[in-house]
Structures are given as structure tokens and as C-alpha cells.
Amino acid sequence: MSKAILLLEDGTYFVGKSFGAEGEVGGELIFNTSLTGYQEILTDPSYKGQIVVMTYTQIGNYGVNEEDFESKRVWVSGFVVKEYFDFYSNWRAKKSLGEFLREHSVVGISGVDTRALVRKIRERGVMRGIISTLDLNPKSLYEKVKRIPDISEQDLVERVSTKEGYWFSREGETLVLIIDFGVKTNILRKFKELNCKVFVSPYNRGLEYYKKLKPDLVFLSNGPGDPARVYEGIKLVRELKGKVPIGGICLGHQIIGISLGGKTYKLKFGHHGGNHPVKDLRTGKIHITAQNHNFALKSDSLPKGVEVSHINLLDNTVEGIISEKFRIFSVQFHPENSPGPHDCYYIFKDFLKLCG
């Protein structure tokens, strides 16, 4: 392992050891509080443009397997951990985390005081950062980090969405059209398990496939970046509302909220982890959920006829909305999350209830 530096846009820097690929990468620095699931995190398209800090200390100890990918590649810009374990122990593992990152040209840094780093992000808010194994001069890295574009200035969905439509499952009773803003594979799996035919459309061709397939449910997926920039998704929901049931998760939820007249805002440091308590206002039940988002809907911006269905008990942010008039339901959290928590798998049945 060679020397590496992580530098933040406020000038703070951490010296550690590289694992994974050699190089230099920049992005928005966020932290994830999940204890496991680094493979799923690395391959989640919603992390495009971000450097992920893991708060759990021991990362890499169960290696990487061939079954738990959320997409076909790694999307994070960089990976930051306290302790990296090159020696892994798991019966499903095929390679080490370091080997996996090298294969996908992703730079990782270990030996970082992640507790101090996370406290800084929580206090100051989300920041841009840069990891380098090539340039170890904090002064020159500081000049570089200032040139990294804000995530709200980038068209990230275009970079992660499929280029061509495809069938994930052709067998089932209910036809679900997935609009791919950066869809996780487990969302597709959950609909398939519920006896659904599943077709995945590029983010900018949803109306074309809607007219061709006449689906029972149009579903907007998760994805990266600022929802207000996803004009194609907002336009699609406005075009289809009232004509077909519509559901959504995460970015899809935010796009639906905007299309119905709501507004979004950027959170101070986002919600990323597997331990957020969310209350279902329809039943009064509280569930532990997985989260991965930087933006949220403003509850007081939602128009009449659109109700908040779920709230986050940590900060009272909107976690779900429903419109019975338009047969629309969406959630901010990730009910499909794997590994766990699995409290909210029932949400997929709620999506299908929209179909009548």
C-alpha cells in the first residue's frame, strides 16, 4: 500500500494508505452508517459523483462475491475507510475488496480517522473532497478541489441510465415499466418476486415505451444528483398523472413530488445508512429503513390532495407521499435494501395496490 491523501475543500486533510487503484479522484464527500453492505454501496448508481466514507471501522473482511451487485459496475468516485482488511473470510467471496476496486479503477484510502472526518461533515455540512496517490502536496490539492463542480451542476442521471430499453422479466401478471434514473437491481428483483413483468426504460424515453407497452404501473427509480435537473422525469409524470398508476423510490420520489407542485432542498449532509426510523402515518407503525439521498421534499410545498404518508423520526423530513386522486405513491427510503433492514418489503405490495 502506498501513501495517499484525502483533502477537503475547507483545507483539512488526512494522510493514509491507498488500497484499490492508484490515481486521483474528486467528488462530493458523504458518509454511510451501514455496518455491512459495502459491495452494494459501491455498485449503487445513486453514488455517482460522490466519495463515500464508511463509519463502520472494519471494511473488507468478508471480501466481494458475484451475487450482491446492484449494477454491473462501481459508481462511487472514491472510498474512505478506517481499517481495510485485505484478508477476507466468507464462503461466497471470490476476491478481496482491494482487487475489486483495482479492477474498476476506483481509488480507496484507509487509515483515516473516520470519526473525526464524519464529525467535520456533520458540523460543516457536505463538502467536496479529493483523494490522491499521485499528488501528495496539500497546497496543490486544495487548488484542485476548488475546481470540482458541485453535484447540483452536473447531469448525473444521463451518465448512469441505460442507453436502451430491456426486459428484466417477461413473465408475470402485472406489467411494470421502470424508468431508469440509476435503478438498483434489487428493485427489479422485488417486482419480479411479486409476479411482475418488468421492462426497464432509459430515463428520457419513458413516454415512448409507455405508449408501446401500455404498462399497469409506471415506476420511477432511484438515482444520483439534484431531482430538479431531471426535466425528462418531471415532464413524464406530468404527462402521465391520472392516466396510469405511478410509483417511485428515492430520486423517483423527489421527481414525483416536484411534478405534483412540490419543491426540494438539499440536506446539510444527507441521509446515507441502514438505521433510520421512519413512521408510516397510515398505520402508525415505525420501521428501520435504509437511506441514500442528499435532497428532500419540502412538506409545506406539497399541494392539496397530496398527503405525506411517511416521516423520518430523526429530523421529521418527508419519507413518502400519496395522491389517491392520481393513484400515485412514492417513498424516499429504500424498501428493497439488501443487506437489510428488510422491514419495508411490504411497500412493493403497496405500489402494486395502485393498479387496483
C-alpha cell recorded at residue 313:
423520526
Known catalytic residue: 28?
Answer: no
Known catalytic residue: 171?
Answer: no
Q: Catalytic one among 70, 250, 253, 319?
A: 250
Is the CB of residue 181 less than 8 Å from the CB of residue 251? yes
C-alpha cell recorded at residue 340:
437489510
Known catalytic residue: 239?
Answer: no
Q: Strand ranges (DSSP E) for 61-220?
A: 78-80, 83-84, 107-110, 127-132, 166-169, 174-180, 196-202, 217-220
Q: At what angle do helices 231-240 and 206-213 cross, to 10 degrees?
A: 30
Q: At what angle do helices 251-259 and 231-240 cross, to 10 degrees?
A: 60
User: Long-range pairs for 315-324 at CB < 8 Å and ≥24 separation?
Assistant: 317/267, 317/271, 318/257, 319/278, 319/289, 320/253, 320/278, 320/280, 321/253, 321/256, 321/257, 321/260, 321/262, 321/297, 322/282, 323/260
Q: Catalytic one among 287, 310, 334, 344?
A: 334
Is the CB of residue 27 less than 8 Å from the CB of residue 148? yes
**Which residues have CB under 8 Å from 140's CB, separation 6+?**
none
Is the CB of residue 250 less than 8 Å from the CB of residue 272? no
- Active site (catalytic) residues: 250, 334, 336
